[in-house]
Amino acid sequence: MAVVGGGPGGLYAAALLKRLAPDREVTVWERGAPDDTFGFGVVLSDETLGGIEHADPVVYEALKRDFVHWDDIDIVHRNTRQTSGGHRFAALGRRRLLEILHDRCHGLGVDLRPRTGAPPPDRLTETHDLVVAADGVRSATREAHRDVFRPHVTAHRCRYIWLAADFAFDAFRFEIAETEHGVMQLHGYPYAADASTVIVEMREEVWRAAGFDALDEAESTARCAKIFADALGGRPLRANKSAWTTFRTVVNERWSHGNLVLLGDAAHTAHFSIGSGTKLAVEDALALAACLQEQPTLGAALAAYEEERRPVVASTQRAAKASLEWFEDLDRYLDQPPRQFAFNLLTRSRRVTHDNLRLRDAEFTGSVEREFGCPPGTPPMFTPLRLRGLTLRNRVVVSPMDMYSATDGVPGDFHLVHLGARALGGAGLVMTEMVCVSPEGRITPGCAGLYTGRQGEAWRRITDFVHAEAPGTAIGVQLGHSGRKGSTRLMWEGMDEPLPDGNWPLVAPSPLPYKPGSQTPRELSRARLTDVREQFAAAGARAARAGFDLLELHCAHGYLLSGFLSPLTNHRTDAYGGSPEKRLRYPLEVFDAVREVWPAERPMTVRVSATDWAEGGTGAEEAVAIARAFAAHGADAVDVSTGQVVAGERPEFGRSYQTPYADRIRHEAGVPVIAVGAISSWDDVNSLILAGRTDLCALARPHLYDPHWTLHAAAEQGYDGPGAVWPAPYRAGSRPPRTGRTDAPRARLTLHERDQDA
């Protein structure tokens, strides 16, 4: 077996492969010397250490003797230090880690070949049963077969440099420096009793403005020490082949090719701000060795290795991306209150959450809650929010969900039960599905409408029920027009598929079908633009008479108004197409028309797709401009969704994956936002609200699973206050029911085996 690369991942893989089968011939090629290394300290988690202990106690015991441990994280910003404890870090010097792994490899009989370049990959694969490419982010082995592995390498917007200080920080330290050139940050942590890693990072434009691009290693090191003199206590920094670099995220479509397999940074990278590079490589080595033992063939083993590790790596990379983007956009949060800023930093990757942090450090989390304005014993999600004349008693929204269960646009008993049940379930705001402004504006024959008086009366029945039986719960209506995505089957019969018969003609900004096989819409003429605008206004007036508390204009997901906003769907050459300002014109005209008939004291929101997830489409920067424009016209909040604009989109799904777009709009456009998209737990809601990333959280599927999701969230957190009021008939259910037997006798005595034998 051949291992290319003598870093921690490659060495540990070699040691495990040899230990599990001593008759294997394992050779490690490494171009550098045994003690060559970049960086200084390595952080490993308890989970990773547990895996090492189980797989190789010798390595674990050697590591344990050299680890330094600490619990605290310090965040220093504007001369204020916030400390959070209970985080349990363990670190040691990277050079010492390599020494331990070298010693273990020597002891097991691994053939180590330092200062020796590996033979070409094709030669290795011919002469060895297995070749492990652990040769790092710039893997030559991977590049030799890039047509098979299909790597995607993404460079990011910050420059950073690895340095060290000859003293030990007493915590993991984040320090923010606001300089005349821009924001810079220090990441520091101890890795020995007398040494710490120090990483200095800043945006590329800040790095250039500060002149670092013209400085050599020694000059850069001295300059960083001067900028962060307070954090260092005036002490110097030292370098070790340190150079300013840009982090690159590596993703490969495949991890193996024949008997060649990628491991560690050759297969994937995760930003240093979540400390996962070495951790992932070591865990890769553990999984690869285990799969080789468990599977009957090499092919099966490599497939099992990738199947096991890929989801873990993908999750870590999503967390790392969220973390690195947080630091890239650090200046967005500088004006947050000190404790909220610290909480935001700690929860940036979404791996650390409100509940998790409360368990680690209840005092710190409590101080953040008090600064935020949470009354004693009140989770952040149960604090009120005022929008214009409407006060929502908590931050939970039942997201609009098309039910496709209306007849001739009239909501019936199903809608009464569906929306009524969720109103009784405790959410602060319950939203209808997209309610269409005309028969031609329906998505399917089952869509609800507000284009007739009968429909308005049916909605009034529902709003009356909510206001009478769930007092304190607001109900909102979402108005929209399907545009080119109309005249389709019910979702469960074929989503976005045209009706087999009974189709109605479609209209859109431009005559572009949604996907192959879809109906081609007619381009809206000037006269028809006026007609549709008046349909929206008439529906808004009916919504007001129907008793809705809030109105949302649907400008997302590729429906009619969204179609005007995206350059992928708006190819007009008149006053309503072309530049972003022209593409905004018609949606703003519709918004103004509805706002004019909508009662002044009631809030109005707008839902947007903040990205089309497609090349050439709307992106985050333009979404901020769109949000600003709607806010300037009187929108009280922006409901920030993404995608569904073009059929060929490539969304990056994951937990809370759309929240960063809401976060950006909230801070850059200065408008309240509603976050949506894979927010599934009350812990997520508390975390997002308390960090200041959103003002409200809209949840869809959780409310389909549990109509009383909000009340159950209150019960699970032990909260019983005005933010979550149980209806009187349901109050007996405000505590979780007991499950299983409770009358079994307790175990009082445990006998040792020899006592039992006796």
Which active-site residues does the annotation give?
A: 559
Residue type, 70: W
Measured between alpha carbons, how far is 235 from 115 in angstroms, rounded to an integer? 35
Q: Per the structure block, which two tokens stand in for 32? A: 């550098």
129: exposed, middle or buried (C-beta count within 10 Å: 0-12, 13-18, 19+)?
exposed
Q: What is the DSSP string of 430-470?
A: EEEEEEESSGGG-SSTT--B-SSHHHHHHHHHHHHHHHHHS
The answer to whether 97 and 196 have CB atoms below 8 angstroms apart is: no
Neighbours of 65 (CB within 10 A): 10
Q: β-strands 195-203, 245-252: how paired?
A: unpaired
Measured between alpha carbons, how far is 117 from 98 in angstroms, rounded to an integer? 18
Per DSSP, the three-state class of 490 is: coil
356: exposed, middle or buried (C-beta count within 10 Å: 0-12, 13-18, 19+)?
middle
Q: Per the structure block, which two tokens stand in for 584? A: 């905004």
Handedness of CA 235, 240, 244, 250 (dihedral sign): negative
Per DSSP, the three-state class of 657 is: coil
Measured between alpha carbons, how far is 479 from 432 in angstroms, rounded to an integer? 9
Report the candidate in 105, 158, 97, 554 with the shortest Cα–Cα distance to residue 281.
97
Report the candidate in 612, 714, 608 with the shortest Cα–Cα distance to residue 666.
608
Residue type, 323: S
633: exposed, middle or buried (C-beta count within 10 Å: 0-12, 13-18, 19+)?
middle
Q: β-strands 245-252, 151-165: how paired?
A: antiparallel
Dihedral class, residue 109 (left if φ above 0, else alpha if ψ from -120 to 50, else beta): left
Measured between alpha carbons, how far is 409 from 121 in angstroms, rounded to an integer? 65
559 Cβ contact partners less than 8 Å away, ≥ 6 residues apart: 434, 443, 480, 481, 482, 483, 485
287 Cβ contact partners less than 8 Å away, ≥ 6 residues apart: 305, 308, 309
The answer to whether 182 and 209 have CB atoms below 8 angstroms apart is: yes
